Amino acid sequence: MSGCLIWDASGNVKLNTSDRLGRFLGTYTATTSDSSVTVTGADQGDVVFAVTSTGDNTLGAVPHVVISGSTLSWTWGDIGPAYRFPAIIQVFVH
Amino acid sequence: MTGLAVINDSYTTQFDENFKTLNCTQHSTATMTQTSAWPTTPVQMATLSFYAAAPLIAFRCAYPAVVWKYVQDSPGHWIYYIVSQQATSGTSLEYWIFEPILASQIATPSVGLEVYNASGELTFSSEMKFLKITDTPVKAAVIQCLLSATRIVDYNPDLQNPNPVPGHPTTGQTADSFKMVGAAVNGNTVSYSLDTYDFITYWGTPDSTEVSWAQTPTSYILVDVSGY
């Protein structure tokens, strides 16, 4: 066995060598036009992301977001300009 | 490569000095109540309102429940809308909020191991409540229900589409539809059940092509929150 073991004060293992932890790679802003950015650290494991509208609560439209390699891309499709607000994309890896 | 990196048995980095580990900072419950957002179908909804830096939400409900939409309406303030068709009014929903670790969230004086990046920011502390991922299942989508047995003719502005789909592949018709897939975790184990909802507003009666086209597989992250 190799790696790091962490115990709590009661002697229970908090972190084992087989555990998979989530880490935060960063926050990116999707503009209201189709575009893409490069994500640093996307090669660290499996990437997941959360897309959040900055618009009104009811009109919470967000773009369609995909990641391929280190490239995070977004497209707005049929969503009209009136419903587009910059979207926050939080990127995580595990 | 310089600095510290701890690798697990599967050769994936558990923590290092470059990226902040995710830490459970809040644990609470919410109650579902019936919402009028879907006028033709009773839907229970819980609204979560909280402050966080860059949250990931884990939640557990006795019935399949899904995040309908969420918004950051002001810096650091988030609102999540979680809905369920099978829940009843008063159903409890338990949730945990994970954020990139902040030094202020760790009790001082602390013991154990802490890791900082070159800017002096904490990236890992053995005192934290880690986001521990136990499984990442993928569920093939299956349409369970439609909002209307026939169709909804009028466009409902309350049904703004957080997950739009493109126009129909052959007719170009636009369906204001959104897919929601829910999971229910039972008890304190990793056993779970999955369910799928497709709330679709059609301009016409859905045909088999549209139904098939509206389905996509969805992946989940199961998180160990024991003791959190």
The token pair that represents A9 in the structure block = 């004060």
B5 touches chain A (CB under 8 A): no
Q: Indicate the pLDDT class of residue B27, thresholds 50, 70 and 90.
A: very high
Kindly report whether the global pTM for this prediction surpasses the value 0.80: no
Separation of first and last alpha carbons in chain A: 21
Task: Sort B79 into a burial class: Cβ within 10 Å, 0-12 / 13-18 / 19+.
Answer: middle
Q: Which residues of chain A fall below pLDDT 70?
A: 1-2, 55-61, 78
B9 touches chain A (CB under 8 A): yes
Q: Is B103 helix (H, G, I), strand (E, B) or coil?
A: helix
The pairing of beta strand B43-51 with beta strand B122-125: unpaired
Nearest Cβ partner of A58 from B130, B158, B167? B158
**What sign does the CA torsion over A89, B126, B226, B189 have?**
positive
* CB-CB under 8 Å, A15 with B56: no
A4 touches chain B (CB under 8 A): yes
Quote the Cα angle for A17-B126-B80, to 5°: 95
Average pLDDT, chain B: 68
pLDDT value, residue B219: 62
- Residues 124..163 of B with a Cβ closer than 8 Å to A: which? 126, 130-134, 136, 157-158, 160-163
**What sign does the CA torsion over B151, B156, B158, B159 have?**
positive
pLDDT value, residue A49: 82
Nearest Cβ partner of B54 from A1, A27, A62? A27
Portion of chain B with pLDDT greater than 90, in percent: 24
Residue with tokens 């957002």: B37
DSSP-derived secondary structure letter, B204? S
Cβ atoms of B97 and B21 within 8 Å: the answer is no
Task: State which of A31-35, B57-61, B103-107, B174-178 shows the largest mean pLDDT.
Answer: A31-35
pLDDT value, residue A2: 65
The pairing of beta strand B114-116 with beta strand B66-74: unpaired
